Amino acid sequence: MFQGDSITDCGRERSDIKALGSGYPKYVRQYLKECYPQIEFELINKGISGHQTKDLLARWQKDAVDLQPDVISILVGVNDTWHHTEAKDWVPNDLFEANYRSMLEDIKDKTSAKIIMLEPFVLDFPEMKCFHNDIDEKIQIVRRLAAAYADRYIPLDGLFAAACVSDPPSHWTVEGVHPTDEGHKLIADYYFDAISDIIEENFITYENI
């Protein structure tokens, strides 16, 4: 299960639970089919554009816990900054952490799902510089939560920063947040590494090796 905001949603057809949209979940499905043709995966995208941690938390029981996924990934946080940038009425960091921690606790306590956490990110566009007044601290919170809860962690802010050494931010995102197709492929590459480790460790039995 993919959970998050517009980066995950990416135009998915809401009426079709198996529709993955045009972003990184689509590429993850492609990689899984190519590498594990013997396994039939059910992939569900529940990302909703514009959502902050408070919005995910409000729908968490219905859209996460009740569906009892084997693996759940979470990419959320940038809207907790973006939606508050103009007024600078930042979401308090302790509230951001409490919202996120509550979701992670629910997954740990009420499901047997493995957890993949993806780091929120902002690339270096001039108009996005003000985001760092808030989101840098929230990224550190997500990293601390990952150390306590995640089975795998994908440090996207750092990974995109490294990718921007060889290609400009505009190669990877439209405006610093929403990925281009190449940006979605980069996320999918790292996501596949993470989920393939989980698959190999938990869902595949090799005999006679």
Residue 183 or residue 209, greater confidence: 183
Domain 49-202 grouped into CATH 3.40.50.1000: no
> Average pLDDT, whole number, for the chain?
96
pLDDT of residue 75: 98
Cα(41)–Cα(37) distance, rounded to whole angstroms? Answer: 10
The mean pLDDT value for 77-84 works out to 97
For 77, the token pair is: 């946080």
For the segment 190-202, what is each residue's pLDDT rounded down to a tens digit? 999 999 999 999 9
Q: What is the pLDDT of residues 14-46, one digit of tens each?
A: 888 889 999 999 999 999 999 999 999 999 999
pLDDT at 206: 59
d(Cα 56, Cα 120) in Å, to the nearest integer? 15
Cα–Cα distance, 144 to 142 (Å, whole number) = 5
The Cα–Cα gap between 96 and 136 comes to 13
140-164 pLDDT tens trace: 999 999 999 999 999 999 999 999 9
CA pseudo-torsion sign 69, 156, 202, 204: positive
| Predicted local distance difference test score (pLDDT) of residue 208 | 39
Q: At residue 209, does pLDDT exceed 50?
A: no
> Among residues of the chain, what percentage have pLDDT more than 70?
98
Which of 65, 62, 54, 51 has the alpha carbon at shortest distance from 8? Answer: 51
Domain segments of the chain as ranges: 49-202
Look at residue 179 and tell me whether its pLDDT is greater than 90. yes
Is 74 or 208 the better-scoring residue by pLDDT?
74
Backbone dihedral region for residue 194 (phi beyond 0: left; psi -120 to 50: alpha; all else: beta): alpha
Is residue 94 over pLDDT 70?
A: yes
pLDDT, position 20: 97
Q: How many angstroms separate the first and last alpha carbons of the chain?
A: 31
Say if residue 73's pLDDT is above 60.
yes
Q: Residue 152: helix, strand or coil by DSSP?
A: strand
CA distance 80 to 77: 5
* Burial environment of residue 207 by CB neighbours within 10 A (0 to 12, 13 to 18, 19 or more): exposed
> For 99-110, what is the mean pLDDT?
98
**pLDDT (0 to 100) of residue 144:** 98
Cross-strand pairs, 3: 74
DSSP-assigned states of every residue in 21-82: -SSHHHHHHHHHHHH-TT------B---TT--HHHHHHTHHHHTGGG--SEEEEE--HHHHH
How large is the average pLDDT for residues 43-66?
A: 98
